[in-house]
Amino acid sequence: MSLVAKIHRQFAHLVRELAKFGSVGAIAFVITVAIGNGLHTGLGVGPLTSNGVATVFATTFSYLANRYWTFRHRDRTGLGREYVLFFGLNGVGLVITELFIGFTHYVLKLDGPVSYNAALVVGTGVATLFRFWSYKKWVFLPASAPQVDPASGLPEAPSDPAEPVAEGPGATRAHNRQAPSPRLGHPLDSRTAEDYAEI
């Protein structure tokens, strides 16, 4: 395969992932805006609380859609691990968005719905870039990714470069794989058939 074909294939795959991720993000954003505006404008809940509650709902949808659609070809390292990391990284994304909203509302003193939504759009855009990068790096690992440390839940460098790594979509890595245990003792394992013939 030529270098140009390899580059095209790599970027075509990235574009497909970005398109799917963007679609999921757009729907999650609609969920965030709808719930956030409903709470803040409709019910008078504070802007940060409104966005926080809306983000929890949107994040749950986003995880399921990304796991089973956008990154379904990537390794599965355990639902619990992925879910916790996904929410943790979304927490960082939420803080990024909250900074934009809080700055607009409390520092610039712009508290109208237009200002709220403008800050939400800009903050979400910056947070989305962080999320896409962090999901690919820590949550939805490629099929050829290193083993996952069960203590931290993060990928680690392989201890033995010569050790074979499981391949293919959905392959699960196990840390410190042990060699198969030897068979239980059997008379023919320690003595040959000829020895028994002599008895």
| Section 127-149 average pLDDT | 78
User: Would you say residue 96 has pLDDT above 70?
Assistant: yes
Q: pLDDT band for 128, please (50, 70, 90 cuts).
A: confident
Residues 6+ positions from 136 with CB-CB distance below 8 Å = 17, 71
Q: Token pair of 14, please?
A: 């990235």
Q: Token pair of 77, please?
A: 């390292």
The three-state DSSP-derived secondary structure of 17-79 is: HHHHHHHHHHHHHHHHHHHHHHHHHHCCCCHHHHHHHHHHHHHHHHHHHHHHHHCCCCCCCCH
Query: Could you give the 3-state DSSP secondary structure of residue 182?
Result: coil
